[in-house]
Structure 1
Amino acid sequence: MVDRKDLGSWLEGADSSQTSYAGARLGLPEDGPGSLAGLSRRVPALLIDWVLSSLIAAAFLGYRLGGTGPTSFAPLLVFAVENLLLVGTVGYTIGHRVMGVQVTRLDGGVAGPVAGAIRTVLLCLVIPAVVWDRDQRGLHDRAAGTVITRTR
């Protein structure tokens, strides 16, 4: 009988048993600074960024929770601008900084404006961000050639 291990997935290739931990294929350490950031850091970072974006949108763009119309997209616009500017220049958003993670290229450098733009557009579409490979990289990070690593 053929099972999923024999076929692999369309994201990962056929053999997922070659590495012992997520990030090993990328040359990242298993633990500590430089290792992959887990969900316990990434989800709170996302929530911090979203709350800040919502507060800024409410203060300056007329956003109201539960409102309809064009202003309902104001937090997403602020979130996109934050990600585009901060990830593309310094490699982290405010939430990332608070949670001790950063977005880097696979070679360890800052993402840069092009990768930051690709990552931001796909992140705002949501679905690419929730489809992961075995190294816990979303499609948005794979397309941008980036990875989210721990800073501490």
Structure 2
Amino acid sequence: MGYPGERLGLPREGSGAVAGFGRRIGAILVDWLISTWAIAQGVFQVSTQDASWVGMAVFAGAYVLLVGTLGMTLGMRLFRIRIAALDGSQPNLLSVLVRTFLLCLAVPALIWDRDQRGLHDRAAGTVAVRL
């Protein structure tokens, strides 16, 4: 059976290894809290009722901008992970857009393969790896 990422040519441990579930959940929670509370409610001062859709829009916009340019969001940086194309390079804009759209739908991100890649990663040709 092997370890997560072995079929992709990734190391078992350390930098470049597949990021585990805990790191990924922690990163997305930080990003969601920043998007919803700090930006949507703090900066834009939207009501609690509108915070969910404004927060999602802020989350998606920040995600595309940051992952598209840096390969990681603030939450990912805190949890020491980044998003990479399967060859280890920075994912292209189309991959980031596909991944972000599917991540915002939530369900594709919750269905994983044995390499711990969600459907959003598989569709985008990306993988979350440790820094």
Query: What's the TM-score, normalizing by structure 2?
Result: 0.94
User: Highest Rg: 1 or 2?
Assistant: 1
2:15 corresponding residue in structure 1: 33
Give me the whole-angstrom Cα distance separating, in 2, the residues matched to 1:122 and 1:62.
27
* Structure 2: runs of 5 or more not aligned: none
Over the residues paired in the alignment, what is the CA RMSD in angstroms?
1.2
1:78 corresponding residue in structure 2: 58
Alignment of 1:74-113 (within 5 A): 74-113=54-93
How far the C-alpha of 1:59 sits from its partner, in A, is 1.8
**Which has the larger helix fraction?**
2
Q: Are positions 1:62 and 2:45 aligned together?
A: yes
Higher relative contact order (CA 8 A, sep 6+): 2
1:49 corresponding residue in structure 2: 31
How far the C-alpha of 1:97 sits from its partner, in A, is 0.7
Residue identity opposite 2:23 in structure 1: R
2:41–2:51: 8 Å Cα contact kept in structure 1?
no
Q: Are positions 1:150 and 2:114 aligned together?
A: no
- SS at 2:98 equivalent: helix
Taking only the aligned residue pairs, the percentage that are identical comes to 47
Give me the whole-angstrom Cα distance separating, in 2, the residues matched to 1:72 and 1:49.
13
- SS at 1:132 equivalent: coil
Give me the whole-angstrom Cα distance separating, in 1, the residues matched to 2:119 and 2:22.
19
1:61–1:71: 8 Å Cα contact kept in structure 2?
no
Count of paired positions: 130
How far the C-alpha of 1:90 sits from its partner, in A, is 1.2
* Structure 1: runs of 5 or more not aligned: 1-18
Residue identity opposite 1:100 in structure 2: R
1:63–1:72: 8 Å Cα contact kept in structure 2?
no
